[in-house]
Structure 1
Amino acid sequence: MSSLQRTMLKGRLPPTVPGSRIGRSDSFKKSRVRDFKPTQWNEFFAYKEDVVVDEKRTFRIYRTKQPEKVGPTLLLLHGGGYSGLTWAHFCVEITNIIHCQCLSVDLRGHGDTCTGNEDDLSADTLAHDIGDLLNKLYPDEKPPIYLVGHSMGGAIAVHFAHLMIINNIIGITVIDVVEGTAMEALASMQSFLRSRPTHFKSIPNAIEWCIRSGQIRNVDSAKVSMPGQIINCTTNKLATNELPLPENDDDDASSTTQFTHPFSISEDEEISGANEATNESDSSINFTKPLNVNDDIAKKYTWRIDLSKSEKYWVGWFSGLSDKFLNLRIPKQLLLASIDGLDKTLTVGQMQGRFQMQVLARCGHAVHEDRPQEVAEVVSGYLIRNRVAEAVGEFRCHLPAC
């Protein structure tokens, strides 16, 4: 009989909250100091470039180096509110597996991209932005393009492929976006956006919130991704332009601040990037000490984009998405954080074998940030099986295909 069972029989089971780790002292939790110092783009990408498409549109792109052998170009499209830096760790992982070049783009209204009308986030506008950017980058002969999109970016990738703006798309991977569940979630989207803090006192503070709130569960990914989502309130420039942080800001990069949040997250998931080797079991943390973001000192940074203003485009992003996805005449892959995410149309399509599906466990919505290695393996395996990419070395995908 285990010690826990004996304690239960004696009626001395300590009070807990769902998912809490029994026997783990509060003093130990409070003593853990975590590093939230941001990292820079050049640790993951070889090139950063501002591409002028016309007098009203300049797009920020990040690229990995050219592969040693000829391979496809992976065009990576981020979700709403994110930036091209959301793919940083994924790019490192996948270029170590297959011969390819990654092209990550800051979409209109996001990151360091500048356009004449940043509020126009319609599916057609975003899709034609991508086509014009590719024509500018490759005016003569385009490489084979494989589309990878997360959330809003996944919907735009499907829309872009459906419009057939260019004719050299060789396949698509859509990450954690399904028409049925997305349309259902729209009703509560404004409430979710209002629940987020409006300002942050520093870049590390924003990274800390990102992890503690569960937006991203991999601290290493949050360190490079989150600065691409916020701007300095004084300069209106993206926080990435202030990196690296001065040495005297190092103290602010470590924190034990506690945040109030409507749900608890797993501690080993929250710090997975920095502490995978601990092999600790899942637990939940209750954040009870709120950060006072109303003080002027705490209002140094705010969100790059006000997503609430894009509400009129939400239905256009996701309406008809499942049918468009299934009708694409290219190899199709869908990665989900939960099997419950499938709607009826895709469930039927999956049973008919019209696309490959993979469910990745222990992930939040930002699947590619929470588990970049696993996502890279799944996408690489799919490209290799479809003979559109070659492995750098011996490759064996350890994840089962669904």
Structure 2
Amino acid sequence: MSDLQKTLLKSKLPKPSTSDLVLPEEKIEEATSEDSDRGTEEESPTPPSDVPPAEFAIPERPSRKQHQQHYKATPWKAYWRDTESLDLSTSSPCTFKVYYTMPTLSPSKSPTWFIFHHGAGSSGLTFSVLAARIHASLPEVGVLAYDARGHGATRCDEDHQTGTDASLDTLARDFLGIVAHAMRLSSGLPADSSSPTKPVEVVFIGHSLGGAVVTEAVRRFTEFWPPGNNLPKPIVSGLVVLDVVEGSALEGLGSMRSYLASRPQYFRSLEDGIRWHVKSHTVRNSVSASVSVPGIIQLGANGRYKWITDLLLTEPFWKSWFVDLSSKFLEARSGKMLVLAGTDRLDKKLTIGQMQGKYQLEVLPEVGHFIQEDAPEKLAALLEQFWHRNRRGAALEIKALNTHAALWASSSATPGRNL
């Protein structure tokens, strides 16, 4: 694209908001000064953090005209059918907070799951409105999200001196442990069961840092699949990455600390926290913010709400999250879709890959970094179309696996077969 075309395009699009790892060049001042003064204290020299995740986004300055909005917190159960705390022993034992709605099961069809991973500083509740939209349109599809280690309501037995193990390897292993649990759920098996189940079709969807995690999980699926169980590996029919690109993510790392310092340290209430996210345009959809923000702030000892996740503790891992992300994504063996909030985020590798038809590119220019919250209906429609387009290959693979399993079962009953 020529420089002139880029200039014309950018003049028509709103200024792109950032992602997990692209940081602000200026603080959000006038537009949120009233809320920040009420809900912020400068007591702590090290800011706790919930990052607006992977390229660490620059929230846009809100317009001075604000429609009257309500900022009351909405419970998770308004969008998910069930929740549970799941114990997983990976690099260090964790109890993961999981939110899900089961697929409508059919005796003649294998179950399908859309499994989500949130960005740095966020939580599984960021996908609440989107997941409800998907299941309402596709009841045969189950939806599941969870709070990663160090985030939301998930708790880990980790050394407080070294902080959270936020390495990409660990996060990808955690994710596949959650995938295995989803397979047991749809088979009616307990969490510790190793009984065989039907093949399960899955679509992995990751926002910002979560995009890097699900891409790594696909790349190292065989290596990271939980050992010691008899679960067949699921069929990965789709890999979807939301608003993260290697180049812009790495470029934003140098500004990360200044971004974290620019945000309010405390809020007087959940409503103040929701209001700040909406007025700062960190999340542009107040309906979604009302359910997602309560998952990222918690009541502190001083009677005010603070960020749950301190991303400064994960600083040693920032660069490793995104190095080679473009190559990994392009090489993933599944249907692939990249959804961005702006056209200028593509790096050279992704631009070439898109021209070669290696993945589907969708751009939603009128949304911010939190695509899943700002435009849940548009994204749900894209995901539904993507799944229908890619499920044919998955269906053929599942049919072959079922045939193989039936043949194996009948032959194993033959005397002397186990010798």
TM-score scaled by structure 2? Answer: 0.69
The 1-side partners of 2:347 and 2:309 are apart by: 29
- Equivalent of 1:101 in 130, 142, 153: 142
1:374 match: secondary structure = helix
**Structure 1 position 79 matched with structure 2 position 119:** yes
The 1-side partners of 2:136 and 2:180 are apart by: 28
The 1-side partners of 2:122 and 2:338 are apart by: 20
For 2:177, the aligned partner's letter is D
Distance 1:133 1:351, change over 3 A: same
Greater displacement, 123-132 / 136-145: 136-145
1:96 match: secondary structure = helix
Distance 1:222 1:20, change over 3 A: closer
**Structure 1 position 325 matched with structure 2 position 329:** yes
- The answer (yes or no) to whether the contact 2:237–2:390 under 8 Å persists in 1 is no
Cα deviation 1:14-52 (Å, max 9, x = unaligned): xxx99998xxxx8xx58x643100101100000001011
For 2:377, the aligned partner's letter is Q
Shift of 1:130: 1.7
- Equivalent of 1:220 in 287, 299, 302: 287
**Structure 1 position 57 matched with structure 2 position 57:** no
2:391 match: secondary structure = coil
Aligned to 1:185: 252
Q: How does 1:3-402 map to 2 (within 5 A)?
A: 33-54=68-89, 56-67=93-104, 69=106, 70=109, 71-98=111-138, 99-117=140-158, 119-137=164-182, 138=184, 139=194, 140-141=196-197, 143-164=200-221, 165-166=224-225, 167-168=233-234, 169-234=236-301, 300-387=304-391
- The answer (yes or no) to whether the contact 2:148–2:154 under 8 Å persists in 1 is yes
- The answer (yes or no) to whether the contact 1:45–1:65 under 8 Å persists in 2 is no
The 2-side partners of 1:133 and 1:20 are apart by: 37
Shift of 1:187: 1.2
Cα deviation 1:242-291 (Å, max 9, x = unaligned): xxxxxxxxxxxxxxxxxxxxxxxxxxxxxxxxxxxxxxxxxxxxxxxxxx
Where do 5+ consecutive residues of structure 2 fail to align?
A: 1-30, 32-59, 185-193, 226-232, 396-419
The 2-side partners of 1:66 and 1:131 are apart by: 19
- The answer (yes or no) to whether the contact 1:108–1:114 under 8 Å persists in 2 is yes
1:197 match: secondary structure = coil
Cα deviation 1:345-401 (Å, max 9, x = unaligned): 0000000000000001210000010000000000110111123599xxxxxxxxxxx
The 2-side partners of 1:19 and 1:224 are apart by: 22
Cα deviation 1:190-212 (Å, max 9, x = unaligned): 11111111111000000000111
Distance 1:337 1:135, change over 3 A: same
Distance 1:68 1:134, change over 3 A: closer
1:329 match: secondary structure = coil
Shift of 1:75: 0.9
Shift of 1:96: 2.1
2:150 match: secondary structure = coil
Greater displacement, 311-320 / 114-123: 114-123
- The answer (yes or no) to whether the contact 1:128–1:160 under 8 Å persists in 2 is yes
Greater displacement, 109-118 / 148-157: 109-118
Shift of 1:136: 4.5
1:215 match: secondary structure = coil
Cα deviation 1:172-228 (Å, max 9, x = unaligned): 100000101111111112111111111110000000001111110000000000000
For 2:93, the aligned partner's letter is K
For 1:153, the aligned partner's letter is G
For 1:330, the aligned partner's letter is S
TM-score scaled by structure 1? Answer: 0.71
The 2-side partners of 1:133 and 1:76 are apart by: 10
Aligned to 2:187: none
Q: CA RMSD in A?
A: 2.4
Shift of 1:129: 1.3
Shift of 1:170: 2.0
1:34 match: secondary structure = coil
- The answer (yes or no) to whether the contact 1:53–1:136 under 8 Å persists in 2 is no
